[in-house]
A and B are shown apart, each in its own frame.
Chain A
Amino acid sequence: MATNFWASTHYKELLDQEEVDVVHNLDRERGITLEDFKLIKLQMTNYIARLAQNVKVRQRVVATAVTYMRRVYTRKSMTEYDPRLLAPSCLYLAAKSEESTVQARLLVFYIKKFYADEKYRCEIKEILEMEMKILEALNYYLVVFHPYRALSQLVQDAGMSDATQLTWGLVNDTYKTDLILVHPPHLIGLACIYVASVLREKENTAWFEDLRVDMNVVKNIAMEILDFYDAHKMITDDRVNAAMHKLTIRT
């Protein structure tokens, strides 16, 4: 299934960065800062990706699940929507809406198997209840576009077939940020190609100039990606744990 991006709800739902970077009042009361907020979302992105590997779903499902999770947190607090339940529930819903259903009991099984931390434990019933709440929080908008489909074609067209894996990996990493909530997916894809050409020292200016896209936006996205990688080096388990811990503090 596909539909035209420019006429889609995905396009209409795009937000400004400032709208995404808002810590909900309830979360702020728990001492969760914007940094914590981003760290927790990053942690949950990794959690979704890991679960997805176990239940064997396509990257596209992971990308959709992460997008759902990030969209929910532009509207709902982590206090009300515990990330450790929201993340697997988003994967559950995304698998369904991307037409490769995963059984809830399978998710519950793998969560039990790989996560000793009891706070991650959840029951089938909880996932199903959360599914309904996610649908509501998303305003039932389920169609999400991703950079993947056009990517290999673009990479090839740019004469960078040898960098396909690299570019693909870069795109995967963009889901560790909120880029998908802010920018049209094809521009994210182009930014990843741009980063890849810089990394591979491939001169692609002419190719990019021939595209009818705003290269300033592409360059800005590319800068954000590089910023993310820089910041990522500074992330330690302690920082993540500290942020996650704030979720469990009783207020």
Chain B
Amino acid sequence: MSDVDHLIAKKVADRYLKREVLGEGTYGVVYKAIDTKSGQTVAIKKIRLGKQKEGVNFTALREIKLLKELKDPNIIELIDAFPHKGNLHLVFEFMETDLEAVIRDRNIVLSPTDIKSYLQMTLKGLAFCHKKWVLHRDMKPNNLLIGPRGQLKLADFGLARIFGSPDRRFTHQVFARWYRAPELLFGAKQYGPGVDVWAAACIFAELLLRRPFLQGSSDIDQLGKIFAAFGTPKASQWPDMIYLPDHVEYQYVPGQPLRALFPMANDDALDLLSKMFAYDPKARISAPMALEHRYFTSGPPPTEPALLPRPPPKRESVDSKPPSDGGGGPTVLSPTRKSRRVMPHQHDHGNERSGPAPMSLDFSVFAARPPARPTINSADRSHLKRKLDLEFQVPEED
């Protein structure tokens, strides 16, 4: 590295005041930091160079490539990127929590207009991606981050996989599978924005139910769960189904009325849900059309983002020890809080070397682990990504 380069790197790095480590990602450590230029709190992701001497991590590169093209209020902002000491650093806006934490927090009551607001922001982000011909391909509540003023933003930092549950009995497929559209489960080689809309429908359902809607334990079981809910698709409903590579005949089961599945939802919500859950991807409502649906245009308007219920950003306690299970200790009465995106990196403050982290550092968010939710390890994940990474065929220009 020449002198000039070194000076530039130092200066850029000096722009950010490093704070505590937020967690360890598959491709690097994530820090909280203050942008001295804007006073803004940011999250800096340090991209570790690949072990195989293969330079900038491939997934990170793809993320940079896409996020540089996608600037929207409902998509996570990549503020800056810079090399420092041979590592690439990505600077993101700092997000307080995510939709999974909201859904899982039993202290939170989600009113119908709150749900409407969260869904609207999800669909807005998605509509923007699709307008730019980008498929998100990994929509799920913990990839929907929530900012300090309640704004929901699409993200896929690839962090979810690392902070997942310690319970490894489930494979990756379980987790991502719950949001997979039937055409993907039937091995579709070409698919479009409909896969994201299906996943958004699953998230909508999850907001209504406060638990994942279709929790299949295998691809076959996932389809079984889908069919048990909506009925086995008939050829008239989805003519192209039989041509899909992995299509197998399922025994016919009748569906259940949506009203029975979602007793708390109103007619407009159910109508939109049924359109987002359309079997035939061609018949499935698009994200922009969904935003114009009566569900959003009539009835009480969505809650202002700033007024949405969210888990408290901090807890009073400074207890940094996670509750030990089976230790016969006191039962924790307050609901467990999610720590997915953050992990106690270094409890031993005496050895804290990651910058000016004060002793009063609040590690309480780490205190309780979320209930076991299956997650993805990186090997599984890359397999999944490969399966999902079929080219999205679109005309390039005009």
Complex CA distance for A51 and B62, rounded to whole angstroms: 23
Contact B88 A132 (CB under 8 A): yes
> In the assembled complex, which residues on chain B have CB atoms less than 8 Å from the CB atom of A8?
69
B134 interfacial by beta-carbon distance below 8 Å? yes
CB 8 Å contact bits of A114-154 with B (1 = contact, 0 = none): 00000000001101110111011000111101100110000
Name which of A8, A92, A145 has the most chain B CB atoms within 10 A of its CB: A8
Cβ-neighbour of A136 out of B66, B83, B131 (below 8 A): B83
What is the distance, in angstroms, from B176's C-beta to the closest C-beta of chain A?
A: 19
Q: Are B54 and A140 in contact (CB under 8 A)?
A: no
Asked if A97 and B61 make an inter-chain contact with CB atoms under 8 angstroms apart, the answer reads yes
Measured as residues with beta carbon below 8 angstroms from the partner, the interface class of chain B is 20 to 34
Tell me if B81 counts as interface (CB < 8 A to partner A).
Answer: yes
> Does residue B235 face the partner (Cβ distance < 8 Å to A)?
no
- A4 and B133 in contact, given A103-B54, A146-B396, A149-B396 (Cβ under 8 angstroms): yes
With A3-B69, A8-B69, A140-B68 in contact, is A101–B58 under 8 Å at CB?
A: yes
Least Cβ–Cβ distance between B361 and chain A, in angstroms: 32
What's the nearest-Cβ distance from chain B to residue A43, in Å? 25
Distance between Cα atoms of A135 and B89 in the complex (Å): 12
When the two chains form their complex, are residues A141 and B55 in contact, meaning their CB atoms are under 8 A apart? no
B69 near A140: Cβ-Cβ < 8 Å: no
Contact A185 B397 (CB under 8 A): yes
Stretch at the interface among B95-103, B269-277, B387-395: B387-395
A2/B396 in contact, CB under 8 A: yes
**A185 to B395 CA separation, bound complex (whole angstroms):** 13
- Known contacts A9-B69, A140-B64, A143-B69, A1 near B392 by CB under 8 Å: yes
* Given A142-B61, A143-B65, also A5-B1 (CB < 8 A): no
Residues of A within 8 A of B81 (CB): 135, 140
| Contact yes or no, A104 B61, CB < 8 A | no
- Select one of A1, A127, A146, A184 contacting B55, CB under 8 A: A127
Given the complex of chains A and B, what is the CA–CA distance between A185 and B58 in angstroms? 26
How far is it, in angstroms, between the C-alpha of A7 and the C-alpha of B130 when the chains are bound?
Answer: 13
Contact indicator B397/A1 (Cβ below 8 Å): no
Question: B81 — nearest CB in chain A belongs to which residue?
Answer: A140
Cβ contact of A145, chosen from B55, B56, B397, cutoff 8 A: B397
- Chain A residues whose CB sits within 8 angstroms of the CB of B396 once the complex forms: 2, 5, 145-146, 149-150, 185-186
Q: Is B368 an interface residue (CB 8 A)?
A: no
Contacts of A185 in B (CB 8 A): 396-397
A99 proximal to B (CB < 8 A)? yes
CA of A149 to CA of B1, assembled, Å: 39
Measured CA separation A135–B389 after assembly (Å): 23
Interface contact B58-A128, CB-CB below 8 Å = no
- The secondary structure that dominates the A interface is helix
Chain B CB within 8 A of A96 CB:
yes
Q: Give A6 Cβ to nearest chain B Cβ, in Å.
A: 8
Report A1-30 residues with CB < 8 Å from chain B CB.
1-5, 7-9
Which residues of the other chain, B, contact A99 by a CB distance below 8 angstroms? 62, 389
- Asked if B69 and A2 sit within 8 Å, CB to CB, the answer is no
Residues from 83 to 128 in A contacting B, C-beta threshold 8 Å = 92-93, 96-97, 99, 101, 103-105, 124-125, 127-128
Binary CB contact string for chain B from 23 to 41 against chain A (1 if under 8 A, 0 otherwise):
0000000000000000000
CA distance A145 to B88 in the complex (A): 25
Q: A142: which of B65, B392, B398 is its contact (CB, 8 Å)? A: B65
B residues touching A (Cβ–Cβ < 8 Å)?
1-2, 5, 49, 53-56, 58, 61-62, 64-66, 68-69, 81-83, 86, 88, 131-134, 389, 391-392, 394-398
Q: A128-B53, A135-B56 are in contact. List 10 more A-B contacts (CB 8 A).
A: A1-B133, A2-B133, A4-B131, A99-B62, A101-B54, A131-B56, A136-B82, A143-B69, A185-B396, A186-B396
Q: Return 29 A-B CB contacts under 8 Å, by A number.
A: A1-B66, A1-B134, A2-B394, A2-B396, A7-B131, A8-B69, A9-B68, A92-B55, A96-B55, A96-B56, A96-B58, A97-B61, A103-B54, A125-B53, A127-B55, A128-B54, A129-B1, A129-B86, A132-B83, A132-B86, A135-B81, A135-B88, A136-B83, A142-B65, A143-B66, A149-B396, A150-B397, A185-B396, A185-B397
